[in-house]
Amino acid sequence: MKNINSILILLLFLFFSCNPGPDHQNRGLVATHGMVVSAHPEASYIGRQILEKGGNAVDAAVATDFALAVCYPSAGNIGGGGFMVIRLKDGKTATLDFREKAPLLAYEKMFQDSSGKIIPGLSINSDLATGVPGAVAGMLAALKKYGTLPLEKVIQPAIDMAEKGFPVTRKQADDFNRLKETFVRVNRFVPAFVKNGQWKVGDTLVQKDLAATLRQIRDNGRAGFYQGEVAEKLADQMKYDGGLITLEDLANYKPVWREAVTGTYKDYKVISMPPPSSGGVALIQLLNMVEPWPVKKWGWNTSRTVHLMVAAEKRVYADRAEFLGDPDYVDIPVKQLIDKGYCKKRMKNFSLGRAIPSDSISHGNPPGYESEETTHFSIVDARGNAVAVTTTLNRSYGNKVVVKGAGFLLNNEMDDFSSKPGYPNSFGLIGGKANAIQPGKRMLSSMTPTILEKNGHLFMVVGSPGGSTIITSVFQAILNVVEHNMTMQQAVDAGRFHHQWKPDVIFYEKSALDSLTINELKKKGYEFHLRKSIGRVDAVLVFPDNRLEGGADHRGDDTADGY
């Protein structure tokens, strides 16, 4: 009997020694050399292949981005824009702003009628809603500066996929069927997303016109999109349908390299996107505001934790509405907004006992002064280079208009401007004068591609789609790992909530808050609105031994692929 007991004790010891415990279960894909996490399995596969063939993280990012334009048309694009954050293996960082711009013919009151009232839907469902695309210029600029492979190698997989087709997922088949009448109504021809009968999972989507456009880019670089045949097709589309983009707008578009906005949270350095993205500033503010509080001790999504995080979110979104816009057009007090002292002051009237109504919260006074379809992907290569990219058409499939003969969808990013100060956009975000429409100006964004270091070493690459919920989705994913000891996969799958100052409501997923927590928060004065889904975080976590865990959000077709 003693021998049996000894064996049982030994087996139990071995089990608990080998089993890392509940906090380390449900890991995502783990790889040793490189990892790509994106919104579609075909794109992640293509990115991983580029890494395996010797390309670096930027090469893979460009390949993944062009692939998403083919296989993820709801948000992947060449007709939109976005942001890229890069951290090289030596710790050097860079950010690339390839955000869309207002056409030169745009003007501040273009979405208002003669009496100053907003014309419903005009900033979303028309060619007037389209900003000058930046995606192609951005990818080519990144490849030129940091890539190691020629353009023809990184873009060819996307060309092949557009030419030969790929199997659509269940979600995509449902989308195409649901939007069939819309695609037919807003286009002068039958686009590739429309077929006789119903789309079924596994059907092949072929996009010949898009393949031809990608070949133009492959063979002619920037001129293959911003000049010549493709540019003329886009300009003709604008003339026919009442849009404002001209050949001059396209020829003049340039992406901008900007200095990353950085901050700290305990032992972590946060590297994110500066304006005209509001994401980096807002994320660092949020982290600063909760840092002094015992979030780990309080626990994941307890009433105290949620109360604290929502209080911070109210203040941050109020600041966003007042101060943030295109830094080439307005002065933005970035350093003051992310100063820990300023953030602490903003939380001075926070009380654990009650919620302060949003109407009682305004912006601070710093001294010195995107269905929400966007897509994000995160990449780490074998050398330790990391890239975070968030790109978008704004709404799902943009304004649903496909450029005739060119095969790509148009964005409706002009809605991200303040059509009128104090008037909410399609995501309910309030905008101010700093984000008013001006010719050539970049519209404010919530995109938050972010890279974290821990004690000087690469720790996490993270980002999300989700319009106004992008910032809070990234915020929660970071805290889930750093404070709540979740794996990367657990962190991106965990239920989420969101507050954006106005409307004064906590939006939440069913899995985010239990009934006890909701009741406790209601007693503090909160109102709630249940939502189906918030964000779709795709991230990579770097272990101390440099292994990589990919966290691909279960809310979509998101996939991690590594080797």
Can you tell me the distance from the alpha carbon of 281 to that of 263, in angstroms, rounded to the nearest whole number? Answer: 9
Amino acid identity, position 248: E
Among candidate residues 67, 43, 84, 155, the one with its CA nearest the CA of residue 385? 84
Are 79 and 135 spatial neighbours (Cβ–Cβ below 8 Å)? yes
Task: Decide if 374 is catalytic.
Answer: yes
Can you tell me the distance from the alpha carbon of 416 to that of 337, in angstroms, rounded to the nearest whole number? Answer: 21
Give the number of other Cβ atoms within 10 Å of residue 246's Cβ.
18
Query: Alpha helices, DSSP H only, in 194-278?
Result: 208-220, 223-226, 228-241, 247-252
Among candidate residues 278, 280, 234, 273, the one with its CA nearest the CA of residue 253? 234
List, in sequence order, every beta strand (DSSP E) within 372-478.
374-380, 386-392, 450-454, 457-463
Q: 3-state DSSP helix/strand/coil percent for the chain, to nearest 5? A: 40, 15, 45
Residue 193 phi/psi, 5-degree rounding, is -75, -5
Can you tell me the distance from the alpha carbon of 240 to that of 212, in angstroms, rounded to the nearest whole number? Answer: 22
Are 548 and 32 spatial neighbours (Cβ–Cβ below 8 Å)? yes
| 458 three-class SS | strand
Fill in the DSSP letter of residue 36: E
The 3 state secondary structure assigned to 90-133 is CCCEEEEEECCECCCCCCCCCCECCCCCECCCCCCCCHHHCCEC
Structure tokens, 200: 């079924």
Q: Which of 374, 448, 487, 559 is catalytic?
A: 374
| 430 three-class SS | strand
Biggest CA–CA distance in the chain, Å, is 93
Question: So which residues are the catalytic ones?
Answer: 374
